[in-house]
Amino acid sequence: MNTKRSRMSAEDRRTAILDVATDLLSTHPWEEVTVALLLDAAGISKGGFYHHFTSKDDVLAAVLLRLTEASNSAGQAVYERSEGGAAARFTAYLGGTTRWELEHADKIMGVIRIAMMAGNEAIFLKLEQEARRRATPLMRTLVEEGVREGIFDVIDVDMTVDLLQHAWRMRWVVFAQARQRCATGDLAGGEAMLGERLRLEERMTNRLLGCDAATPVLMPAVGEFLGFLQAP
Amino acid sequence: MNTKRSRMSAEDRRTAILDVATDLLSTHPWEEVTVALLLDAAGISKGGFYHHFTSKDDVLAAVLLRLTEASNSAGQAVYERSEGGAAARFTAYLGGTTRWELEHADKIMGVIRIAMMAGNEAIFLKLEQEARRRATPLMRTLVEEGVREGIFDVIDVDMTVDLLQHAWRMRWVVFAQARQRCATGDLAGGEAMLGERLRLEERMTNRLLGCDAATPVLMPAVGEFLGFLQAP
């Protein structure tokens, strides 16, 4: 262990701590995760830890921002591969980021669980704002391209991007409730709940974009969520 | 002073502290306001203070929520006096709350100044959310009435109210910038900036409400803001 530790660069150590914290997030209530547990699981010394972080909450902030960066990269990659008109590219972006989120659903739900805990609201609102800020440039590009193509008719690009992000922000809370309902045996009810949320967001997204009704932006279909809904 | 103090009920003491804090908010940077200064200005003992509050930040939270309550009461009163169709009543509500805010502009700008200070973002986001939560019931009523009258065509009442509040949230930051511009001598520039913000919010409000174009909801006119813009 010592050999391994001595070979790790500062950056590797930081990554190791974040990897371990991200895993623990999916399996442990955050209040049970201690700095000692993180050190042990990551094979890092106390000094190595405090070189990068001031507390376990500081680690949590870094985990969240790393998840955000990864989600943004996935969105960017999908956008770059996307074809067709602005509405089709926006649809591809929504599908790509949603698929990425579904692949990381356990981590996202771990984060939501922590965010919902009493006393955590203030710091989470701030982190959420930071996460949104990072997603903004690509969203602005997507909206501006649609405006240029005459497909979108927005009131104001910046306010539209801000409101779109706000409209989508509670989705994972609803997705988690839908999965919970499926877990109690009501699969149809859970699917309906999730589908309703997707349709609501889709309609609001098209309204905010002033999207041409002939070529609407589409949210992913409920079918894409079946694996998530039926997970044990 | 002692006689006066002994005659104050617990509720009066709390009010006295909030009154003094609200005044100090308009005139002093919050970091210069100490609990000792609050006690002195309110004529309250240390014990009397800590009976109601745990810290000066706790006082700030209470000041903000009291401002919110007062603003909501003003909005409610205007709503109850308002006549005509749903769009006219919504317009009256917007005008009434804006006029109330203009009368309390120094306090609101004091609050914004504190909110913008490094380290205060997280707690302010939480307080802002709480303030919005309290304004929600009346907003929901206004929207639902318009839907019933067939004047508004909303995607979803709750999401619409949430997005309307989000669309309006940065207005006082822009108003403060507009006043700043006027203070530097560029009165026309300040007025234009403020007018542009009002038009933007008006257009977004009507889009979110799906308001009948023949009877739009209207934001107050720039003329109502001249006293605010030209204040020393």
* pLDDT tens digits along A70-88: 988 998 999 999 999 999 9
Query: In Å, what is the CA distance from A222 to each residue of A121, B19, B92?
Result: 30, 54, 42
- Tell me what the mean pLDDT of segment B187-213 comes to: 97
Report pLDDT for B1. Answer: 44
Show the tokens assigned to B22: 């609200």
When CB atoms are compared, the residue of A129, A200, A210 closest to B159 is A200
pLDDT, tens digit, 9 for 90 and up, residues B9-34 = 888 889 999 999 988 887 887 788 89
**Range A56-229 has CATH code 1.10.357:** yes
- Tell me what the mean pLDDT of segment A42-51 comes to: 89
Mutation target to probe the B interface, by most B beta carbons within 10 A, among A120, A128, A168, A204 is A204
Euclidean distance between CA atoms B101 and B109, whole angstroms: 10
Q: Which of A31-35, B78-82, B139-143 has the lowest mean pLDDT?
A: A31-35
Mutation target to probe the B interface, by most B beta carbons within 10 A, among A60, A132, A163 is A163
User: Where residue A203 falls among pLDDT bands split at 50, 70, 90?
Assistant: very high
CA B12 from centre of chain: 24
Burial class (CB in 10 A: 0-12, 13-18, 19+), A150: exposed
C-beta contacts of B140-144 below 8 A and 24+ residues apart:
B141/B79, B142/B79, B142/B86, B142/B89, B142/B90, B142/B93, B143/B209
What residues does CATH 1.10.357 cover in chain B? 57-229
Mutation target to probe the A interface, by most A beta carbons within 10 A, among B58, B64, B159 is B159
Q: B56 near B34, Cβ under 8 Å?
A: yes
Euclidean distance between CA atoms B206 and B211, whole angstroms: 5
What residues does CATH 1.10.10 cover in chain B? 1-53
Q: Which of A40-49, A174-183, B25-34 has the lowest mean pLDDT?
A: B25-34
Q: B4 near B43, Cβ under 8 Å?
A: yes
Inter-chain touch B126–A129, beta carbons under 8 Å:
no
Inter-chain touch B208–A203, beta carbons under 8 Å:
no
Class of domain B1-53: mainly alpha
User: Where residue A3 falls among pLDDT bands split at 50, 70, 90?
Assistant: very low
Inter-chain touch A155–B200, beta carbons under 8 Å:
yes
**How many other C-beta atoms are found inside a 10 Å radius of the C-beta of residue B3?**
6
- Tell me what the mean pLDDT of segment B209-232 comes to: 93
User: Where residue A142 falls among pLDDT bands split at 50, 70, 90?
Assistant: very high
Amino acid at A127: L
More confident of the two residues B121 and B105: B105
Q: Which CATH fold would you assign to the domain B57-229?
A: Tetracycline Repressor; domain 2 (1.10.357)
- Tell me what the mean pLDDT of segment A176-200 comes to: 96
Chain A residues near residue B163 by CB distance under 8 angstroms: 163, 166-167, 204
Query: In Å, what is the CA distance from B36 to each residue of A166, B32, B57, B163?
Result: 41, 11, 13, 41
Q: A107 near A26, Cβ under 8 Å?
A: yes
The ipTM of this complex is 0.86
Q: What is the DSSP letter of A206?
A: H
Q: What is the mean pLDDT of chain B?
A: 90
Report pLDDT for A31. Answer: 80
Euclidean distance between CA atoms A150 and A45, whole angstroms: 57
Report pLDDT for B2. Answer: 45
